Amino acid sequence: MTEPQWNTLLAVIRGERLRPVPTGFIIDSPWLPGWTGNTILDYLTSERLWFEAHCKAHETFPTAMFLPGFWSEFGMCTEPSAFGAVSMFEENAFPFAKTRLRTVEEIDLVEKPNPRTDGLLPFVIKRLQHLQPEMQRRGHKIRFAVARGPLNVASFLMGTTEFLMALKTDPERMHRLIGLITDYLVEWIAYQRECFPTIDGILVLDDFMGFVSEKDFVEFGLPGLKRVFAADVAVKFFHNDAPCKMCAPHLAGAGINLLNFGIQHTLTEMKSWTGNQITLLGNLPPRDVLAEGTPAQVREATTKLVREVADHTRLIFSCGGGMPPGVRTENIETFIATVNELTK
């Protein structure tokens, strides 16, 4: 992110009223490769193509914030790979981590990875280190440490159904596994901050926090979020585009001050459920409108989105989740222009 963008983000989080209301998007491998005419595998394996894709996004949409900004990632494989999960990389499909644990009993054998050496994590760091000078010459700094959340990682190690079942059938082992993963994530975030002192934000992505009941969220999910977000940084950014109603009232207490959520709830509802303590990033339908709609349909839906929420503080207009595959330049331009026109 550039210095002006970072200052804008901090101002929004403080609750200042900005005109026009800022726009921003989470961008990574589901959208950038196709938008720049590359395969996903080429994008992930070429530092140059990865860097040029991010630069093109910043140059094409200079008024939008892209979060976390120059995201070094290998899809859902990044964090599970350090536990020994086999990573699958097809030419033009999303990376996928194979199940690591065949039985709940194997949790007893799991050891905490070393984020400095294990899995794909060193490759994440080296990509940023190699390209940091060029980012800085273009006016950007590495601002965020990024990690998938504890429940997300656990679900990839075990499998979704097995993970959800084990929360009920073997809660003791699940507490052990989630606690160990959380220890690892805290160290992974600390290591990123050690490598890049310009980091003053954390982005944690965990859709599985929305797949469980409020009771199970409080027992299994919330303690890990509190530990991960305990780091002394200015921006504590959480992504969960699964249903958020049951976890929303607890997020500010976990230290979170920026939330990207899905399309199941309105901005007004989320402002209410979070006590208007958290800046919201959302929530135009990403697939059905931003990716598949015409510019006219994007404009119509964006107008409705802007006008439906009365309070434009602690708000960054975006889509409900990360930027999906297939979104065209003209649709993003229409979205940004409509927001600027209606909130200037």
Task: State the CATH number of the domain containing residue 16.
Answer: 3.20.20.210
**Other residues' Cβ atoms within 10 Å of the Cβ of residue 77:** 24
pLDDT in tens, 163-199: 999 999 999 999 999 999 999 999 999 999 999 999 9
Q: Does any domain span residue 235?
A: yes
- Find the length of the chain: 344
Domain that includes residue 246, residue range: 3-254
Q: Does any domain span residue 134?
A: yes
Q: Does any domain span residue 272?
A: no
Q: Does any domain span residue 250?
A: yes
Domain count, the chain: 1
Q: What percent of the chain has pLDDT over 70?
A: 100
Q: Does any domain span residue 278?
A: no
Quickly state the pLDDT bin for 263 (edges 50, 70, 90). very high
Q: Does any domain span residue 260?
A: no
Q: Which DSSP category does 232 fall into?
A: S
Q: Quote the Cα angle for 216-278-150, to 5°.
A: 35
Q: What percent of the chain has pLDDT over 90?
A: 100
- Cα first-last separation, the chain: 23
DSSP characters over 24-54: EEE--TTTHHHHTT--HHHHHH-HHHHHHHH
Q: Does any domain span residue 336?
A: no
**169 burial type by CB count under 10 A (0-12 exposed, 13-18 middle, 19+ buried):** exposed
Q: Does any domain span residue 15?
A: yes
Q: Which DSSP category does 2 fall into?
A: B
pLDDT in tens, 300-331: 999 999 999 999 999 999 999 999 999 999 99
